[in-house]
Each structure stands twice: as C-alpha cells, then as structure tokens.
Amino acid sequence: MIFCYENYKLFEEGSWLYKPVKTVMEQLSLLKGKRDIRVLDLGAGVGRNSIPIANELKHSARKVVCVDLLPSAIEKLSRYSKEYDVEEVIELENSDITDYQIKQNEYDYIVAVSSLEHVASESIFDSVLKKMAAGTKDGGLNCIIVNSEVEETDIQTNERLDALMEVNIKTEDMIGKLRSFYNGWEVVKEQVKPLKYKIVRNDKEVLLKTNAITYVVRNR
C-alpha cells in the first residue's frame, strides 16, 4: 500500500487531511479531569489526529507518541508539530507498528486509524491488538478504525482487482475478532460504514469499496 502525503497539506480544505476523525476527537471528553495523559497513535501519518489531540490536551498531556513506518510522514509530522506549537508533547517513533514495544499499562488513549490493516499478516494484527489492550491503563480507551471486506474494481474494464490491503477479512470476522480481544471492556462505539471511493492505481481509475469499522472501547 502506498501512502501519499506529497500532494496534500495537513488540514487543507478538500483533502483527506482536512480534519481529524470526529470519533477520535470526541473520546477526549472521557479523559477530562485526568492529568499526565499519555496517548499513542499507531500509524499516525502526518498527524491529522495526533496534532489536534496534542493541541486539545496541551495542558494535561504528558506525551502523544506517534508511530509510523514512513520516514516522510514522520518528518512532516515533526514539522507540523512545530508549526502548530505542540512539539513539546509529540514524541516521534519511526517504526513498524509490529515492532513497536507498547509499554504495559502505559496509555490513557490508544488510537489506530486506517493503519492496523497494513501490518503484514492477521497473526501480527492479533498480536498488535493484544499489545494495545495490555498497554492501556484502567479506564483508558482504544479507538480503532479499520477497513474490512475491501474490494477494488477497475472502473474502465469492470475487472475485479486484488485489493492492496495486507489484512483484508470479512466485516463479520473483524467485528468478532475485536469483540473477542476486548471482551470485558465497555463498548463506547461500534459502527460499520460502507464506503466507496475512486482512487488511481498504476494510472488506472479504481473503485475501492470497503466496510470501515469504528470500534471504541474502554478498559474497566
């Protein structure tokens, strides 16, 4: 999967980087009153969510750790953190989510938006979920947005293509997996949104269909 941050500026109107994900931001109200808040953003990209989180929690956050595989994303995130004056709380980790050691019982809030499906296999996906759960404090939250049942079709020929998604499983199975890993946690939000959009792959227009799953849980 290729992530392109070259053509868009963070928070540029009309681009996918225009705004943070609403659900991600909404959960911050559940952290109200806490001090020394620690946040982890897995596959943070250029900071579409982590910069606004850091900004919102500026006076109560100890750190917002941003993990991304792409050096170019981390470089941009570093620049944006200065531009938006949150560099004191942002910590950058240029690493694969797979290898990133999540400290046990460390975080108040762990976010993973459209990133977990890009780890190399389903068993790695499972091990990351386990580490996320173990890394969350009592009362802490996990917010996962993950694609499922992704289909790609060549718009001109109508030919079905191999979806370029490393972990691409049925929506029902993904939900079952999330429910079972977070068994005993309070479910704050569970939603499936069917989405369709046009992308360009190898100069071809491709229709990408996905069921985007939003899953927010609280450790209790």
Examine residue 97 and tell whether it contacts ligand SAM (CB under 6 A). yes
Whose Cβ is closer to ligand SAM: residue 83's or residue 186's?
83
Whose Cβ is closer to ligand SAM: residue 110's or residue 119's?
119
CB 85 within 8 A of CB 131: no
Examine residue 119 and tell whether it contacts ligand SAM (CB under 6 A). yes
DSSP 3: -
Full DSSP string of 92-159: EEES-TTT--PPTT-EEEEEEES-GGGSS-HHHHHHHHHHHHHTEEEEEEEEEEEEEEEEEEETTT--
Among 115, 136, 148, 219, binds ligand SAM (CB under 6 A): 115
Examine residue 213 and tell whether it contacts ligand SAM (CB under 6 A). no
Whose Cβ is closer to ligand SAM: residue 72's or residue 153's?
72
Examine residue 118 and tell whether it contacts ligand SAM (CB under 6 A). yes
Whose Cβ is closer to ligand SAM: residue 68's or residue 108's?
68
Could you tell me the end-to-end alpha-carbon distance of the chain, in angstroms, rounded to an integer? 35
Cα separation, 84 vs 74, in Å, equals 15
Cα separation, 91 vs 53, in Å, equals 13
Cα separation, 113 vs 144, in Å, equals 6
Examine residue 68 and tell whether it contacts ligand SAM (CB under 6 A). yes
Looking at 68-76, 153-161, 183-191, 197-205, which segment touches ligand SAM (CB under 6 A)?
68-76
Examine residue 8 and tell whether it contacts ligand SAM (CB under 6 A). no
CB 178 within 8 A of CB 170: no
Examine residue 11 and tell whether it contacts ligand SAM (CB under 6 A). no
Number of chain residues interacting with ligand SAM (CB under 6 A): 19
Cα separation, 14 vs 112, in Å, equals 23
CB of 94 to ligand SAM, least distance (A): 9
Looking at 7-15, 74-82, 96-104, 200-208, which segment touches ligand SAM (CB under 6 A)?
96-104
Full DSSP string of 13-24: TTSTTSS--HHH
Residues that bind ligand SAM (CB under 6 A): 3, 43-45, 48-49, 67-70, 73, 96-98, 113-115, 118-119
